[in-house]
Amino acid sequence: MGADVHRTSHAIRRALDAVIAARVSPELTGTRGIVLGFIAKRAGAGTPTYQRDIEEQFHIRRSSVTALLKAMESDGFITRTGVPADARLKSLALTDKGNACSRQLHACIAGFEQALCGGLDPPQLAALQTMLDLLRQNADALAAGQRPLP
């Protein structure tokens, strides 16, 4: 089961990377695009975004998020600005380039998800979501040692 989920996840990630590179920017991947959209959504709501928000939202390790954000900053999609009240925090903001790509990404990802789910009816999608949630909860419990192996 785990291998099938992994292969499916990898295939979806590769397809999303290819679609975003072709339709939005070759400098963006699916992960970068989703993070860019997350920052844009929070900025639109007037909520500041920090690295720890990305770590928590996407369940990504600190070192991976650091590398991701440094690359996005280097490519001109975001800025990281120190917070006067806490020198350890850096506030994330989109640049003009990041904002332009964010608008394109929203439509691109919506179209991708619609095409990806083609052929599945609403009850099937709901059942799939329920099963994925349960698998994720079981994996989290196993990782935390809260569930013994049979």
**Neighbouring residues of 31: CB distance < 8 A, sequence distance ≥ 6:** 13, 58, 68
Task: Give the 3-state DSSP-derived string for 14-79, with helices as H, strands as E and coil as C.
Answer: HHHHHHHHHHCCCCCCHHHHHHHHHHHHHHHCCCCEEHHHHHHHHCCCHHHHHHHHHHHHHCCCEE
Mean pLDDT of the chain: 92
**Domains along the chain?**
2-116 (1.10.10.10)
pLDDT at 36 over 80: yes
pLDDT tens-place string over residues 106-125:
899 899 999 999 999 999 99
| Spatial distance between the Cα atoms of 31 and 13, rounded to a whole number of angstroms | 8
pLDDT of residue 87: 77
Look at the pTM and tell me if it is higher than 0.85: no
pLDDT tens-place string over residues 62-94:
999 999 999 999 999 999 998 888 878 889 999
